[in-house]
Amino acid sequence: MRRQTHDINALREALDKANAQVAALEVSRITGPRIEFLKALEELLKQNVNDSDKKFRKFVVSSWGGFLVAAAVLVYALKKEKVVIPVDKPYITLSGTKASSTILVWSDGKDLLDSPTLTVFASDFVCRFLTIQNKFGKGGQAVAVRVAGDNAAFYGCVITSYQDTLLDDDGNHYFKNCYIEGATDFICGNASSLYERCHLHSLSPKNGSITAQKRTSATEKSGFIFLGCKLTGSGLTFLGRPWGAYSRVVFAYSFFSDVVAPQGWNEWRDPSRKDTVYYGEYKCYGPGADRKQRVQWSKQLSDEEATVFLSKDFIGGKEWLRPAPSHFKNAPKSNPT
């Protein structure tokens, strides 16, 4: 359903108001027990009520040179003993000065939904210059970040695990200048997401997959778009395999190292999906971008076909992406490599 114009204008006004009314909780140089960050986050969640004049207020937890660590014994009154942003707490921003010194870490390989180090159910969430890790390693679904709220944005973040690193679950999402690392389906889910200038690093020795997108019908708008990204790693990996029968993934203007398998894509042991998936490449380059051995059911997109995937319009970004608050603009970019 098309959103009414006056609703879009109201949303833009609300987000402008939010940026102008930032309430920051600062966590500085945590060197002893690292519960302070989680206490600050809990207090932030208590404050962020979803009514009256506070409805559109944006809240910030920040660490200036700090080191944020979440471990079971240290988590303070947070659901499932992990960092969870609940659905009724929108407009939260978590920020550090740089990803290399602002870290959330967990170790859990139970399953897809119970393992995440950070889970976001709320809308209008922003994460900047943080490292989020799941250090479980091989042998289980070990999600570092699950994003299930609408209108979420990640800037300069480092997200690492081995399997199912980023559960990009549902909603419109934007990732810029992020480093994402894993081996098996390490960007998965059914969101509509744009990844701009991100670095994707594969740890798979062979037959891994960067994406497992879950679109289930031809009319669904979801899909993963990678614009101006860099793909590196060791061994060989596929660009994607279909979690859903109508899986949709496009890489454009991206550098492929020789980590990309010559076939490019995999049907995940279901040949029928060759007829329904939408896997495209557009003006990619590097040793892994040679399409001579690509599977025939993937697409080399024309200029006309690619147009719809080359801007923030794919995620409705003009409606909800806003400029960063002034106190974030000079923060350095993450440099994980």
Q: Catalytic site residues?
A: 164, 185
* Burial class of residue 72 (count of CB atoms within 10 Å of its CB; 0-12, 13-18, 19+): exposed
**What is the rounded CA–CA span in Å between residue 228 and residue 29?**
35
Counting every residue, how long is the chain? 337
Cα dihedral value 175, 177, 180, 185, nearest 10: 40
Phi-psi map region of 156: left, alpha, beta (phi>0 left; psi -120 to 50 alpha): left
